[in-house]
Amino acid sequence: MLPPRRVIVLGWAGCVAGLGACFDPDHLPAMAFDVVATEAWQDGATRPTPAVAGEVRLVVTNNLDDTVSVVSWNALQRGGDGAEVARFPVGLVPLEREGPHHVDVDDDGRFAFVGISNFVPAGGSGPHGLHGTGSADGRVLRVDLDTQQTVAAVRVDKNPGDVRLSPNGTTIAVTHFDLLKVADAAANDVFVGADVDARIAFLDPITMQRQRLLPVCPAPHGMAFGNDGRLLVTSCLSDEAAIVDVAAALAGSDAATLVRRVTLLDAPGTAQHPNCSPYAVTMTADDSTAWISCYASGDLVAVDTATATRGRTLALPGLAVFGDVSDAGDRLAIATQDTDGIVVFDVTGPGELALISFFSLSADICPLPHTVRFLDDDDALAVVCEGNKRDPGAVVALDADSGAVLGRVVVGRFPDDIAVQVKP
Amino acid sequence: MKRWLAVGAVVASMGCAPTPAAEVGRALFADPRLSSSAFNTVSCATCHDDGSSDAVERILAGHTLTDSVFRPSWWGGAAPSLQAAVDNCLVFFMREERIDATAPASRALYEYLLSISPTRPAPPLPMTVVENVADVPRGDPRRGERVYQAACADCHGDAFTGAGRMSALVSVVPDDSVGFAEQSGFPLTTVIVEKVRHGPFFGIGGTMPPFSVESLSDDDLGALLGYLVPLQ
């Protein structure tokens, strides 16, 4: 220990000699600050005022420009002028396009969980190889929507697909649409089994640690939780769905006992050549049926979640993508592409779906609708329109009864997923 | 985090007025020891002008930090905040961890940046990334030598020998790239273009900064190739 006098002299020497002579970053001199600690690093970026209690905002991932758009639902349904309240960059690597893919927001409306897919074709090349092929591991980011900062990140497997927070908030499930794994296995004449199956990652939303990596099926993509967070259904590229017991998965049970796979077709294809090409899952409000969207055939296939059996199949007007069930549980809405629009079904009848309407969406309003959400006590729908997957896309608000366009706002390039942010 | 913790230990200075934080920040700006890594040899000043150097002809990878605080965005829009912009430099180029915003050293650095940022708001600066690398036609070798001196020599020392380079971790240009060029089957010039445009990113690794089109034009890069890889 130095006698106190020596310390005084040191400090004093720092004063007179300036910093050049005696400066040592490990022992900084006492400083006079002009800016209080809580205001350090304030800058010139414009950030929207954080959402207030009860306010509804939509968080949209823009796959091609590595940004997230925040859209005011209130402004969107009144025409859309100025509805995009923020668009900010996400990602961990400043130069590379990382492909923010799907997103969910916690019940406090504070944090968004964004899957980074590293799948952005033509996103960089040189002697060190091609980028954006989905050959690099993905990440899930925890983004503070109040400050727009990425506050934590966790590595997951290649090509994270859907990202969904469980209704009880205990886990984030992440599917992996790992087409490379399917192709690699096929190159070795392997079409089923562990070499083809990708994992669902379960993550702790608070610590952002991995809770479990559970092998499930080939290229799982869409996903829906049951109400209590124990049941999870995912679409598998092998013309199957998989029903996962989440509670048992988190308790560490043997994988073989907690995943039930259901074949969706009489004549299923393989993951390499699927006939349905399962893409998304929409669960009924009572958890009894998971409706699987077929991207290749445009069919919607029912899976009974209790018995793990296939139910009826409905042909949609276009290729089936993501959907939603109304809060009241009486209606199902599914977006379709190729014939662009939104199909709405009545799900109250016994075991039967009755078509209520098909809202056709024109190319100048909403090219390639990709996902849809019920909002405003089920009176309205929010739809993400991918556009040509190169230029900016849009989010539109529709009247849920008439399909009338209430508003439209342009967002970033190739928008993909939507999550609803509501501050309690 | 180490650096931000260590510098929490502030020496008491009884008997004299405390040093203005911005002044400490100015010293930190030019000191490689801002990073706690023993392998780091660069400071903020290696890659950024802060308005203090007398117009020596230097081509720097990073933009000037004069008026950096009140820009609306950084890194060509890829960084959501000033803090995130600096975090990128610390993590990718200086082997340090992200800033602890409230640590004395980081507050001092901020106050220095603030002191050189009188304009508010200030316009954003463009940063065009060359994503897909293609060869660049070779230009005048004499001009290329000047570009090398202005853009590369601070770190790499003399071309072809590495004499006077910053540390043994810095490659000898272009000799150290010959092996990879042969192995990858790409011309040596393309390998150099890739490193200059991508730095450590796009799967390359290391800590060399990337040069955007704004910091180093294709014409200057072509001249550089004419100097480094002369036509036989």
- pLDDT tens readout for residues A37-77: 999 999 999 898 899 999 999 999 999 999 999 999 999 99
Coil, strand, or helix at residue B101? Answer: coil
| pLDDT score recorded for residue B3 | 63
Domain edge (last residue) among B115, B149, B177: B115
Q: What's residue A10's pLDDT? A: 31
CA nearest to A178, candidates A115, A246, A233: A115
CATH number, residue B36: 1.10.760
Q: Which residue of A has its CA nearest to B20?
A: A32
pLDDT of residue A352: 72
pLDDT above 90 (res A123): no
* CB contact at 8 A, A81 and A75: yes
Structure confidence at residue A9 as a pLDDT band (50, 70, 90)? very low
| Closest alpha carbon within chain A to B99 | A41
Residues B77 and B39 in one domain: yes
- CATH code of residue B197: 1.10.760.10
DSSP 8-state assignment for residue A84: E
Interface test with B, best of A8, A15, A35, A43 (most B CBs within 10 A): A43
Q: Name the more confident of A309 and A12.
A: A309
For residue B17, what pLDDT is reported?
A: 86
In a domain, B7, yes or no: yes
Is residue B133 in a domain? Answer: no
Chain A residues whose beta carbon lies within 8 Å of the beta carbon of residue B19: 14-15, 19, 29-32
Encode pLDDT of A229-266 as tens digits.
999 999 999 999 999 999 999 999 998 899 999 999 99
In a domain, B93, yes or no: yes
Co-location of B27 and B70 in the same domain: yes
Domain end position, chosen among B61, B80, B115: B115
Cross-strand pairs, A199: A215
Cβ contact, residue pair B203, A91, below 8 Å:
no
Whether B193 is covered by a domain: the verdict is yes
Give pLDDT, residue A3.
31
Give Cα A345 to chain centroid, integer Å: 24
pLDDT tens sequence across A162-211: 999 999 999 999 999 999 999 999 999 999 999 999 999 999 999 999 99
Domain contains B126: no
Chain B residue with CA closest to A118: the answer is B202
Say yes or no to pLDDT of A32 above 80.
Answer: yes
Give the residue-averaged pLDDT of A21-36.
82
Local confidence band at A408 (pLDDT 50, 70, 90 cut-offs) = very high
Q: Which of B13, B23, B34 lies closest to A25 in CB terms?
A: B34
Q: Using CB atoms and an 8 Å cut-off, which of residues 64-103 of chain B contact chain A?
A: 69-73, 75, 77-84, 88, 92, 99, 101-102
Range of the domain at B95: 2-115
- Domain end, chosen from B63, B80, B115, is at B115
Tell me the average pLDDT of chain A.
92
For chain A, what percent of residues have pLDDT higher than 70? 94
Domain-embedded: residue B18: yes
Residue B218 domain flag: yes
Residues of chain A contacting residue B75, judged by C-beta atoms under 8 Å apart:
94
- What is the rounded average pLDDT for all residues in chain B? 93
Q: What is the pLDDT of residue A20?
A: 42
Q: Is residue B10 scored above 90 in pLDDT?
A: no
Contact A15 B73 (CB under 8 A): no
Min CA distance, B6 vs chain A (Å)? 6
Domain count, chain B: 2
The arithmetic mean of pLDDT across residues A310-326, rounded, is: 96
In a domain, B136, yes or no: no
- pLDDT value at residue B54: 64
pLDDT at B145 over 50: yes
Is the confidence at residue A14, as pLDDT, over 80? no
**pLDDT per residue as tens digits for the range B77-89:** 999 999 999 999 9
pLDDT at residue B231, as a whole number: 87
A172-176/A278-283 β-pairing: unpaired
DSSP state, residue A390 = S
CATH class belonging to A15-27+60-422: mainly beta
Query: A136: which chain B residues are within 8 Å (Cβ-Cβ)?
Result: 203
Residues B161 and B59 in one domain: no
User: Are B3 and A20 inside 8 Å of each other by CB?
Assistant: no
Asked whether residue B149 falls in the same domain as residue B109, the answer is: no
**CB-based contact A27 B82, cutoff 8 Å:** no
At residue B139, what is the residue type? G
Per-domain boundaries in chain A: 15-27+60-422
Nearest to A122, CA basis, from A366, A371, A414 = A414
Whether the CB-CB separation of A78 and A407 falls below 8 Å is answered with: yes
| DSSP single-letter state for residue B64 | P
pLDDT in tens, B66-79: 999 999 999 999 99
Min Cα–Cα distance to chain A from B159, Å: 22
